Structure 1
């Protein structure tokens, strides 16, 4: 199976590198030229337990240099999904499966607008990684898993083949008959802490010490749960307290959410696909989500301030 990762940041590099290390045919597409050059020249470097391992892998900034793929795994930032999938047309054949492992809610809908909806399968990644330099990553794969599934919940031969291929490649992969529910489950985790960390500038250790932050997180989660129920989404957990605790499980004191990392780099965040998505889906169900709307507005304000700073430099 030819597998291509659209987006080779920390997660794409960690998963793709693990598959390549275990003999799978893997290609990486990323816009960071230095990162791509380093991987092509020196291999993708895994840093584990103080040791460095070079993994031969083919990377490119230009999808048109590659052939049609059997599986395209999308890991670009959510706001870049539409443009990235358009640029990846040379990779997508009639039988190519397209799997989003991105953060947030709404990526599958964007893909369905650009492709034949039957080509889209769903997934969620509970693995991690840290990109520490161009071509060099600390993978967070061991003991963690990926969930995949058909968007309609059916058990099909093709989803079994995808799971088998990933498992053989060293990525623990399970099949879910409720992939939409799992996407919302992961959304709850991001809703709990993402925006609050971004707005306060606090890593987890300090964020979790403030009762006011906890109360706001609970309110945001409660809104998201109500919206999910209104759309007949079956969640695995409906306790704000449990979701709040799950969001921090196993993570270090200094952990920073992706929204906080984006704002610190003065980059655009994925807020529209996290708290902003709750607001949009609330409107579809004729509900309101004032806490998530406020959190979204605050992050948008920080982004606007950051962009003004760039303009004034």
Structure 2
């Protein structure tokens, strides 16, 4: 199976390494020239639990060089999805299956502008990775399934996803096809919406925000609204389950971490707000559920990004 990782940063490179080890023909596609050159010249160095492995790999920022693929896994930031699909259209033909494992909610709708439902899959990852340097990533797997995904067309199971399960398993990663993938996506949204942008707005790490009265109440409100929206969409998560998932099952291990959205704010970069709290706000308006706290987080972050250059 020929697979392109569209967006081969830290996460994309780590995910692709599992496919490489599983025997797939993998292309790492990215605009980061130093990373692309390092992979082509020296291989992809992958660290897991202080064990290093160098994998012979192919990378490019040119769709024509890569050619049409059987599967394209989209891992660019949500705000770049549309541009990436248009710019790298040479990766796709009418048989290509497209799988998004991006953060947040809203990427599938963008993919539907370009591809038929039968050729779209979506899911969520429980993987952490960081870029050590060009051509070198360090990754961490969790105690959960590393990836959960499904096809957008609910009438059939795409054979490409069944094959991906097998390839990932051979490569040491646990991927599961599940018709219940939406629940896993919204559970990850709980954590992302509670910390990614709020920590950046307040200028603290996850534990520091949680330990303040105001931060705690803010996160409780964000999650309450999010679950009301998810429930209205048919996702079966209770408020108690959601809070336990965030505060007890996830936060203790990542208290000292600055989430990715917060790191973007530190660097005065555009964030994925429209696919996180902004998505909760947008969907809430569409289905008639009030989300004033997520609305406010979204407005504040938009204003912050629009004024990066003039802030004191």
What are the Cα deviations for residues 28-56 of structure 1, in whole angstroms up to 9, with x where unaligned?
Answer: 10111111111111111123444432211
**Total equivalences in the alignment:** 309
Q: Within 5 A, what are the aligned runs for 1:1-313?
A: 1-141=1-141, 143-144=143-144, 145-154=146-155, 156=157, 158=159, 159-231=161-233, 233-239=234-240, 240-245=242-247, 248-249=250-251, 251-308=253-310
1:236 deviates by: 4.0
Q: Structure 2: how far apart are the matches of 1:237 and 1:280? A: 21
1:243 deviates by: 3.5
Q: Structure 2: how far apart are the matches of 1:165 and 1:293? A: 41
1:237 deviates by: 4.6
Moved over 4 A (4+): 152-155
The DSSP-based 3-state class of the residue aligned with 1:23 is coil
Change (3 A) 1:243 1:48: closer
The DSSP-based 3-state class of the residue aligned with 2:201 is helix
1:19 deviates by: 2.1
- Segment of structure 1 superposing worse, 102-111 or 113-122: 113-122
The DSSP-based 3-state class of the residue aligned with 2:70 is strand
Change (3 A) 1:157 1:300: closer
Q: Structure 2: how far apart are the matches of 1:43 and 1:237? A: 46
Q: Structure 2: how far apart are the matches of 1:86 and 1:247? A: 39
What are the Cα deviations for residues 168-200 of structure 1, in whole angstroms up to 9, with x where unaligned?
Answer: 222201111122333222222211222211111
Unmatched tracts of structure 1, length 5 or more: none
1:222 deviates by: 0.9
- Scaled by the length of structure 2, what TM-score is found? 0.92
Q: Structure 2: how far apart are the matches of 1:115 and 1:307? A: 38
The DSSP-based 3-state class of the residue aligned with 1:113 is coil
Change (3 A) 1:154 1:117: closer
Change (3 A) 1:65 1:307: farther
Q: Structure 2: how far apart are the matches of 1:114 and 1:20? A: 27
Q: Structure 2: how far apart are the matches of 1:278 and 1:42? A: 43
What are the Cα deviations for residues 53-76 of structure 1, in whole angstroms up to 9, with x where unaligned?
Answer: 221110111112112111110000
Task: Answer yes or no: is the 8 Å Cα contact 2:19–2:168 preserved in 1.
Answer: yes
1:257 deviates by: 1.0
- Scaled by the length of structure 1, what TM-score is found? 0.92
Task: Answer yes or no: is the 8 Å Cα contact 2:49–2:140 preserved in 1.
Answer: no
What are the Cα deviations for residues 216-261 of structure 1, in whole angstroms up to 9, with x where unaligned?
Answer: 1111111111112222x22345324214315734634421111101
Task: Answer yes or no: is the 8 Å Cα contact 1:45–1:137 preserved in 2.
Answer: yes
RMSD: 2.0
